[in-house]
Amino acid sequence: MANAPDLIKLHTAVAIGAVCLDGSPPAYQLDWGKEDGAKNWLLHLQGGYWCTTTQECQTRMNDSSGLGSSTKMKRSYFSGILTNNETLNPYFYNWNRVFVRYCDGSCFTGDKQEFSADGPYYRGSRVFSAIIDELMKLGMKNAQNVLLSGSSAGGLGTMVHCDRFRNRFPTSTKFKCLSDASYFITLNNPSGFVELHGSSKNLPETCTSKMDAALCLYPKNFVPDIQTPLFILNSAYDTFQIAATVRLPVNTSRSCLYNLTGCPDTVRKQWKNLRLKILQEVTMGDLSKRGLFINSCHTHSQSEFQSKWLGDPKSMLDNMTISEAVGKWFNDEKLVQLIDRKHSSTKQCVLDASEPNACNNYTWGASYLCNT
């Protein structure tokens, strides 16, 4: 059965102002590694969209999902890349696996000194650093292998922090990053985001030295300069991005954001254009160490869900599961660069609504299954 490790709240972080939006301590879940995985660390940053106005962040502080407060967090099940079951996660099952919980609303980038006592506090980057410091003390500083990964907002945080975090380890440590469902083509209110959270100084300097910091939230503007090997896992028909980019003509059913049956050609065209943009942007820059797995599942976030990570044949490309693709790339067995160029239309890949974590309002590809 799936396990759900204890939620560990980092109370000592409060004194250094590394807190969730509501001022509560940041939190993580840890399943210890064993055997030949004992010196390997997987850190997976949780996703869950973001907030770009004070009002949105205040609402998030109260959200029952715990995305703004550790007082409301519940333990998450470890599945997909996080599971300890060897059959279901052959490359990482016995590593130290950490689920870094998201409660700052800024993809772990914010750092604003000012606050009001009732919140919101904008401290995402401090949260990231405080949890890393703690894990270093718990043994991560002696890691042989490290994979920093994340889905959606967590994947954006992963890409932002990838090089700087890598530099805290000696070159003898094998260190790579995995970004899942976070190659965002369009973002809502990026200027509001960086200003509200004070994110600018934490975004990659390679980008902020060249352009407005708000533009440096877009992966295409900083990913080509990332030095650390990076694997980009994304669907070309990512449901979150479709919902964010497709403009439905008047009187068109909202179901055209989820299911193209019976939808007008103008909508189909927008889906296809999004796909072409994603394919173009994920291949920008130096590809000599880049892993790529760009399939056509109509979904969002594929590493944390067992059926997508390893299980549903429709998620596979060239007979390779996502699990195997990421594992072989990490181990330097194969430079996996798989892009589904055949399916110019979407595929419905299986996601069982009964899977742990499937039914919450922030796993966009899944929530339509769940009668919410």
Ligand X SMILES: *[C@@H]1O[C@H](CO)[C@@H](O)[C@H](O)[C@H]1NC(C)=O
Alpha carbon separation from 136 to 66, 164, 278, 318, 347 (Å, rounded):
25, 15, 35, 38, 42
Closest C-alpha to 227, from 183, 171, 145, 155: 171
Q: Which is nearer to ligand X, 226 or 246 (CB)?
A: 246
The yes or no reply on residue 171 touching ligand X (CB under 6 A) is no
Asked if 291 and 234 count as a contact pair (C-beta separation under 8 A), the reply is no
Question: For ligand X, which is the closer residue by CB, 179 or 295?
Answer: 295
Q: Least Å distance between CB 57 and ligand X?
A: 9
Residue span 317-336 as binding mask against ligand X, x where in contact by CB under 6 A, dash where not: -xx-----------------
Residues 32-71: x/- map of binding to ligand X (CB under 6 A)?
Answer: --------------------------xx--x-xx------
Could you say whether residue 360 binds ligand X (CB under 6 A)? yes
What DSSP string describes 243-298? HHH--PPTT--GGGGT--TT--HHHHHHHHHHHHHHHHHHT-S--SS-EEEEE-BS
Q: Which of 44, 300, 312, 315 is catalytic?
A: 300
User: In a 3-state reduction of DSSP, which class is residue 32?
Assistant: coil
Closest by CA to 228, choosing from 162, 184, 276, is: 162
* Residue type for position 250: V
Assess whether 238 carries a catalytic annotation: yes
> Which H or E run contains 188?
none
The residue (of 88 and 136) whose beta carbon lies closer to ligand X is 88
Task: Choose the binding region for ligand X from 35-43, 182-190, 235-243, 358-366 (rule: CB under 6 A).
Answer: 358-366
Name which of 161 and 197 has its Cβ closer to ligand X: 197
- SS3 string, 55-106, reads HHHHHHHCCCCCCCCHHHCCCCCECHHHCCCCCCCCCCCCCEEEEECCCCCC
Q: How far is the CB of 184 from ligand X (least distance, A)?
A: 22
- Which one is catalytic: 24, 70, 149, 152? 152
C-alpha dihedral sign at 284, 288, 290, 293: positive
d(Cα 341, Cα 353) in Å, to the nearest integer? 28
Site string for ligand X, 291-320 (x = CB under 6 A): ---------------------------xx-
Total residues contacting ligand X (rule CB under 6 A)?
19
Cβ of residue 317: shortest distance to ligand X, in angstroms?
A: 9
Q: Given the complex with ligand X, which of 66 and 190 has the nearer CB atom?
A: 66
Q: Does residue 315 carry a catalytic annotation?
A: no
Give me the 247-286 binding string for ligand X, x by CB under 6 A, dash otherwise.
Answer: ---xx-------x-x-------------------------
Say whether residue 117 binds ligand X (CB under 6 A): no
Identify whether 36 is a catalytic site residue.
Answer: no
Q: How far apart are CA 256 and CA 261, in angstroms?
A: 8
Distance CA 51, CA 93 (A): 33
CB of 17 to ligand X, least distance (A): 22
Of residues 248 and 335, the one with the C-beta less far from ligand X: 248
| CA pair distance 326, 308, nearest whole angstrom | 13
Interface residues with ligand X (CB under 6 A) are 58-59, 62, 64-65, 85, 87-88, 250-251, 259, 261, 318-319, 348, 359-361, 372
Catalytic positions: 152, 238, 300
